[in-house]
Amino acid sequence: MQLLTTHTQRLMLVSAILAGVFILFPSISVYQLAAFTQFVIEQLGNQVIQLSTLALLICAAIVVSPFGKKRLGDEAPEFGFIPWLVMLFTTGMGSGLIFWGIAEPVFHLANPPLQSDGMDPKDTALALTYFHWGVHAWCLYALAGLVMAWVAYEKKRPMRVSASFIGNRNPGWFSLVDLIAVLAILFGIAGVLANTMALVEQGVRQVFQIEGEMTGFRLVMTAVIGVLFTASSALGLKKGIQRLSSLNVWLMLALFTFVFINIDGSAVITRMFSSVAAYVTLLPDVSFGMIEGSETWSQGWTVIYLVWWIAWTPFVGPFIARISRGRTVRQFLICTIMIPTLASILWFSGFAGAVFESDYLPEIMAAVNQDYTQGLFLFFAHLPFSNILSIAALVLLLTFVISSSDSAIYAAGMMTDDTRTSSKISWSVIVVAMSMALVMFNDVDLNKQVAIAGAIPFTFVLIAQGIAAVAEQVRTKPEPLPTPQQE
């Protein structure tokens, strides 16, 4: 226990020092970190895209192989099928759908990186969005989760990254890889929390007609959210995270249903099918490198997105591994990849598709070009009960970010072998401190840059972790077949 506590304290100390630097020297730390991530993106953009495509191909190969029949652990699944799917989805990217549901497709329509012959520009805009939020993103999560689940349930090791390399031994110098994983978690959640506060501010301005500076409001709300996700994480999986995830899905369904019955539903459904066809058509062109002639666009959107998903793999991976004990490998991969992808397509096509088929599209395009956060609430302004819709979206946005954050805190506890409430509070304070530094700038693009900073070193750890798992499995001697007498 003493070794584990020391391991936790080392990781927490380094993380706390980093958070302190963010708070004390925000201008230097935030902008220097963003400059570093931009440099790496410019140098390794093609390789990041190819890595995500490789993850997709590996997942497909595992699904059709005999290995897909193996079960993760010897016990029956802890959670029912539907609650399991709900937690998979809400942990991975729920709050991002609210933020980007209209803003991203509309931005791509207004600033197209490519023109495909014979393809509707609106379909292309949605297809590019599906590319960023679809199978490539979820394959990264699925592979990270599968490695962690295999280490934990087949090899009976603790659910931390270093266990993939050294087993159950004291981490020692290998605590560095756990530190890299934890930092990726902290940066990723801090960026999401800061972006959430930007959208919350815009919603509050819209509903209550507030003008002027609202930095104080964003800081207070960040602290409040920190208290709430700490409380949810402290309650545990079944009392906190599972219930909150279920609430998120019900709210999401209610909001989507209301919007759908107040728009041209048939046109939106038609747009969804045509955009999915465009998605499938475009995949070969965008899956192996940046778009030729639009490299800057690819760096600012595709590469940042894919690295951002990698930033979330240190906590989404262990978390989905934790809730997936008892599932077969095939079921784990198919559900983890396809169900959230289909739900994301439905959401983007429902919201952005509704805007695309409306006569107020030019107005929303102009607003999104000025500020990403304006599109959603301007869309609601054209629907009945606009203020109620805006408030509902704000509640959903906050519950989603709470759900993602408490999952991250839970995963940080697993990474450090310390799930005590006091440890969760400490991690929450560090996350909130880093988020506040970003909240003061209130720059969505800057938040995205900082959010992926921790993922850059963790990308190499993730690759090494996968190689180590495969190498260990190859070295493991298969059990001999039983003789007739044994049978």
- The confidence score (pLDDT) of residue 5 equals 54
Q: What is the pLDDT of residue 2?
A: 44
What pLDDT does 325 receive?
92
Per run of 10 residues, the mean pLDDT along the chain (length 487 residues) is 58 84 84 90 94 96 94 88 82 78 96 81 96 95 92 86 83 81 88 90 90 91 87 66 75 91 92 96 94 92 92 84 92 94 94 94 95 93 93 88 80 78 85 90 87 88 88 64 43
Report yes or no on 478 lying in a domain.
Answer: no
Domain assignment present for 479? no
What are 148's strand-pairing partners? none
Q: What pLDDT score does 398 carry?
A: 85
Residue 309 forms part of a structural domain: yes
Q: What are phi and psi of 382, to 5 degrees?
A: -95, 5
> Percent helix, strand, coil in the chain (nearest 5)?
80, 0, 20
Q: Note whether residue 147 is domain-resident.
A: yes
pLDDT in tens, 333-391: 999 999 889 999 999 999 999 999 999 999 999 999 999 999 999 999 999 999 999 99
Assess if residue 377 is contained within a domain.
yes
Radius of gyration of the chain measured on its C-alpha atoms: 22
CA–CA gap between residue 215 and residue 9 (Å, rounded): 33
- Total number of domains in the chain: 1
Kindly give the interhelix angle for 135-149 and 329-356, rounded to the nearest 10 degrees.
160
Domain of 319? 2-473
Cβ atoms of 306 and 138 closer than 8 Å: no
Residue 337 and residue 68 in contact, taking contact as beta carbons nearer than 8 Å: no
Tell me the CATH number at 440: 1.20.1740.10
Is position 480 within any domain? no
- DSSP class of residue 76 equals P
> Look-up: residue for tokens 């990698």?
310
Quick check: 333 and 476 in contact, CB under 8 A?
A: no
Q: Which residues contact 47 (CB under 8 A, 6 or more apart)?
A: none
- pLDDT, one tens digit per residue, over 125-155 is 999 999 999 999 999 999 999 999 988 898 8
d(CA 20, CA 202): 28
Q: Is 485 among the domain residues?
A: no
Amino acid at 312: W
User: What pTM value is reported for the model?
Assistant: 0.88
Rounded CA-CA distance 445/75 in Å is: 44
Helix, strand or coil, per DSSP, at residue 33: helix
